[in-house]
Structure 1
């Protein structure tokens, strides 16, 4: 029995040490990895362009090598910054992603967890304080309260809490409340920092669980041979409710109700700014004060990371479902298997020194021109020209013409009799009734603009008459126009 328990414990420890988190901390170049990742990535910089990351890692390498740390074979890794970063991607410490139009590196949850462990180890005192024990007791009490099914017990607990609050309010009102000393406030601040350090890894773990679910859904979809309609219904529903598809996502959805409100984030930011300005904050070092002040930003970036992963997963799953074609995918899989089988057969029958001629273009079919129609291939003849009619046909009746466009000929004749210049409003009022329609006012303005006109500061008001006898008044800036283009040029 003892060996079985020991073996089980050993296997659990062995499995833990195989995770990327402990592999990073116990690796040969762990100090360099932790130092570099903590310098390149920060709370306000969760993602870095790949080219910038390579340049910064190269700069860190040069500085450490210049300081003589490369004399120890276990201090700095060999190779270029690009090779080092690619190795970190391969072992699960960095993940490349597309952010807009650029490719970036982000820390994985394992790397964030390793940095937090290092930060807690080197970040000062970690002590059993009143604040930390109270946090534990309050969490246990809250869990017990939520798990309690007897309403009488819950009601009694709420009454005790209300009585305690009433007693505290009474002490403050009579001035008996004593201020909390700075040492206790410092303990509570350290407890807040301890809790906040765990948030980035939690957020990253949620985002990675959503991405893993996305990959599983896409892989399952490609292997799915069910009817397309059934596949669409199931996978579109999974894409729309991606946050509920993983335990981490469901837990985050519950937490989002507390931290997803922008007003709550703003209130948290204001509270943290006020705490940093309190006298007890002088007992904290500059790094602790900066970390305390950045908690709200850390929460905001974590929420944004998870929601971005959710939107991306929903978009990818939906796109995959819309383009899902089981028959085509099966044909592609069969073709790839045939290619791999042919490649294996060729490698078995060919020496390793054999050369392969590259196919630079696919062959084309050598065929002659095909007829495109079964009718006469000669182009059709041009249509016969129109013949002029000796008789003028009346296309429009008088009523239709009355409701038509401007009567340019009559308007030109009317304007020609007004002298070299005329006022457009007066000219319109002096015209005959059949050319005093609203549309003729537009035609008269067009003639004035074509011949040359200038606008005045006075207001002209005219009354237009429609063919049915109704009238409409128009007001516009006064216009003085020429009777012809030639007179304007003179």
Structure 2
């Protein structure tokens, strides 16, 4: 009896895989072309809104190019992306900033890789291919052979061959050269191996996600004690990379690539191959860029796998910590009771029978509903005030209080009347210099300006003059402020009677290398001045 039945079953299982279902559908060419255009090696993740817009643009361009509605799938960009997510060709996830993004699944990347291989020039039987097979078999046998003597013999043969080649080159022997066909086959095989790395890394990430979903399902159906469940699944979460074949393979590659010397050697070998005289003629610009970024591609793939493993572990821990088994059991009991009642009702009900069900509960007949309830913590009275009678501040004398006050408007007003006299001082600055020391505090300048702005026979000009001030401690300082003169002495008739205009003037003058009156010397906030 032949094996046709078993072979047919295996083929049917293969056709049910998302990779072949993508290639076997009616719009496969368009979907593959969209994936190739939207996702690149440098941009494996595309924001959701951007991909929706790109898909709609691609569909419009195809229709303008002559593609029929039968060849182009119908629907908007969002609808098509959702369809591709359900087909397991796209993954929709959240970025670190919370925005949604798309990435290709391993099935979609396998399909892209297969199409890429078919679009390239097919590799034929050559010396390079046979040599590659021989080297791979020899290396495999050297590592896996259980016979110690056989391994030593293989190593001795390899050492002798390499030593002979080294001595021949050092003695001036001819440098063997390779032809263009050998280089073409070598670059083709190398490019094919590098192109398969993204799908391999994506498959490992998907295995972690699948294992996480399995654990979630098992946790929801678990009937064992909660402590036993938590212990078992925390252990599985800690050893997540060892639970699948892909995870174990990734850990092996991870340990291998942690050898920095090996990574540096890989980078140097790729650079040397790309610098070969025949490489520029054989490889395209994109091929050279992809090969040059091999190390970066490997590191990015490993980072994505590690990040996915961390997200899976975090989600498992969060689920286990917040999982309420009692509540789930109560919900399950309610659903089972509803199912029992429904079964009993269906035995006597007809096919068109209906049961009125209120989607919302009926109104509650209550006059008043309390919105706040008694809280013992809130109702506690505040603690008693501390007794600070022993820490009273020192009593201030009248002189100390006067030094902290604002300008002496009453005394200044009588002195400013001299500016209105023909024989009086020429300006407010000259008058200020002749005042007694208690009236020459820095804050008194504000009093002079305030009174001048509100006195009919006084004017404030745009000229700046010096005011010699005396602080309460006896120190002296020269400040600059607008000039105050009598109305008869103001040649241009300038008079600022508005306090807003006065502030505008004082904000443009300078005093002690700063704009306006030096307000660090005193202010009128709350009627007090810092001496």
When normalised by structure 2's length, the TM-score is: 0.65
Match 2:89 to one of 87, 93, 111: 93
Match 1:156 to one of 153, 157, 168: 153
Alignment of 1:457-476 (within 5 A): none
Worse-matched range after superposition: 278-287 or 341-350: 341-350
Distance 1:380 1:105, change over 3 A: closer
Distance 1:239 1:452, change over 3 A: farther
Q: Tell me, in whole angstroms, the C-alpha distance in 1 between the residues paired with 2:382 and 2:79.
A: 72
Q: Tell me, in whole angstroms, the C-alpha distance in 1 between the residues paired with 2:153 and 2:473.
A: 94
Deviation of the 1:268 alpha carbon? 3.5
CA deviations 1:424-481 (Å, max 9, x no partner) are xxxxxxxxxxxxxxxxxxxxxxxxxx98899xxxxxxxxxxxxxxxxxxxxxxxxxxx
Which residue of structure 2 lines up, in the alignment, with residue 296 of structure 1?
Answer: 295
Q: Tell me, in whole angstroms, the C-alpha distance in 2 between the residues paired with 1:21 and 1:28.
A: 14
Deviation of the 1:61 alpha carbon? 0.5
Question: In the alignment, is the contact (CA less than 8 A) between 1:131 and 1:191 conserved in 2?
Answer: no
Question: In the alignment, is the contact (CA less than 8 A) between 1:260 and 1:303 conserved in 2?
Answer: no
Alignment of 1:478-489 (within 5 A): none
Q: Tell me, in whole angstroms, the C-alpha distance in 1 between the residues paired with 2:156 and 2:381.
A: 102
Which residue of structure 2 lines up, in the alignment, with residue 309 of structure 1?
Answer: 308
Which residue of structure 2 lines up, in the alignment, with residue 116 of structure 1?
Answer: 113
- Equivalent residue of 1:104, what SS? strand
The number of residue pairs the alignment matches comes to: 404
Higher relative contact order (CA 8 A, sep 6+): 1
Task: Answer yes or no: is 1:243 the counterpart of 2:255.
Answer: no
Distance 1:81 1:352, change over 3 A: farther
Q: Tell me, in whole angstroms, the C-alpha distance in 1 between the residues paired with 2:271 and 2:362.
A: 67
Q: Tell me, in whole angstroms, the C-alpha distance in 2 between the residues paired with 1:35 and 1:366.
A: 64
Q: Tell me, in whole angstroms, the C-alpha distance in 2 between the residues paired with 1:104 and 1:227.
A: 39
Which residue of structure 2 lines up, in the alignment, with residue 330 of structure 1?
Answer: 329
Alignment of 1:392-403 (within 5 A): none
Question: In the alignment, is the contact (CA less than 8 A) between 1:16 and 1:22 conserved in 2?
Answer: yes
Deviation of the 1:353 alpha carbon? 10
Which residue of structure 2 lines up, in the alignment, with residue 80 of structure 1?
Answer: 76
Q: Which runs of 5+ in 1 are unaligned?
A: 374-378, 387-394, 397-404, 410-419, 421-449, 455-481, 483-487
Which residue of structure 1 lines up, in the alignment, with residue 65 of structure 2?
Answer: 67
Which residue of structure 2 lines up, in the alignment, with residue 171 of structure 1?
Answer: 168
Distance 1:85 1:342, change over 3 A: farther
CA deviations 1:280-336 (Å, max 9, x no partner) are 212222332233223223222221221122111111111112123322221133344
Deviation of the 1:119 alpha carbon? 0.2
Q: Tell me, in whole angstroms, the C-alpha distance in 2 between the residues paired with 1:312 and 1:385.
A: 52
Match 1:136 to one of 133, 139, 148: 133
Q: Which structure has the larger Rg over C-alpha atoms?
A: 2
Match 2:25 to one of 19, 27, 36: 27
Which residue of structure 1 lines up, in the alignment, with residue 274 of structure 2?
Answer: 276
Q: Tell me, in whole angstroms, the C-alpha distance in 2 between the residues paired with 1:334 and 1:25.
A: 45
CA deviations 1:225-279 (Å, max 9, x no partner) are 2222212211111111110011110111111112245665455445434433332
CA deviations 1:113-162 (Å, max 9, x no partner) are 01000000002232233333333333322332233222122112111111
Which residue of structure 2 lines up, in the alignment, with residue 200 of structure 1?
Answer: 198
Distance 1:333 1:264, change over 3 A: farther
Match 1:16 to one of 10, 14, 17: 14
Q: Tell me, in whole angstroms, the C-alpha distance in 2 between the residues paired with 1:213 and 1:384.
A: 60
Q: In angstroms, what is the RMSD of aligned CA positions?
A: 4.3
Question: In the alignment, is the contact (CA less than 8 A) between 1:43 and 1:297 conserved in 2?
Answer: no
Q: Tell me, in whole angstroms, the C-alpha distance in 2 between the residues paired with 1:383 and 1:252.
A: 63
Q: Tell me, in whole angstroms, the C-alpha distance in 2 between the residues paired with 1:267 and 1:385.
A: 75
Which residue of structure 2 lines up, in the alignment, with residue 48 of structure 1?
Answer: 46
CA deviations 1:354-384 (Å, max 9, x no partner) are 997652x7866849899x89xxxxx999999
- Equivalent residue of 1:219, what SS? helix
Q: Which runs of 5+ in 2 are unaligned?
A: 396-436, 438-470, 476-520, 522-528
Question: In the alignment, is the contact (CA less than 8 A) between 1:109 and 1:201 conserved in 2?
Answer: yes
Worse-matched range after superposition: 235-244 or 225-234: 225-234
Q: Tell me, in whole angstroms, the C-alpha distance in 1 between the residues paired with 2:60 and 2:382.
A: 81
Q: Tell me, in whole angstroms, the C-alpha distance in 2 between the residues paired with 1:215 and 1:380.
A: 49
Q: Tell me, in whole angstroms, the C-alpha distance in 1 between the residues paired with 2:308 and 2:22.
A: 25
- Equivalent residue of 1:279, what SS? coil
Question: In the alignment, is the contact (CA less than 8 A) between 1:238 and 1:245 conserved in 2?
Answer: yes
Deviation of the 1:211 alpha carbon? 0.8
- Equivalent residue of 1:70, what SS? coil
Deviation of the 1:337 alpha carbon? 4.7
Question: In the alignment, is the contact (CA less than 8 A) between 2:123 and 2:185 conserved in 1?
Answer: no
Match 1:259 to one of 247, 254, 257: 257
- Equivalent residue of 2:74, what SS? coil
- Equivalent residue of 2:124, what SS? coil
Distance 1:346 1:94, change over 3 A: farther
Question: In the alignment, is the contact (CA less than 8 A) between 2:53 and 2:77 conserved in 1?
Answer: yes
Q: Tell me, in whole angstroms, the C-alpha distance in 1 between the residues paired with 2:147 and 2:19.
A: 43
Question: In the alignment, is the contact (CA less than 8 A) between 1:243 and 1:249 conserved in 2?
Answer: yes
Task: Answer yes or no: is 1:181 the counterpart of 2:156.
Answer: no
Question: In the alignment, is the contact (CA less than 8 A) between 1:186 and 1:283 conserved in 2?
Answer: yes
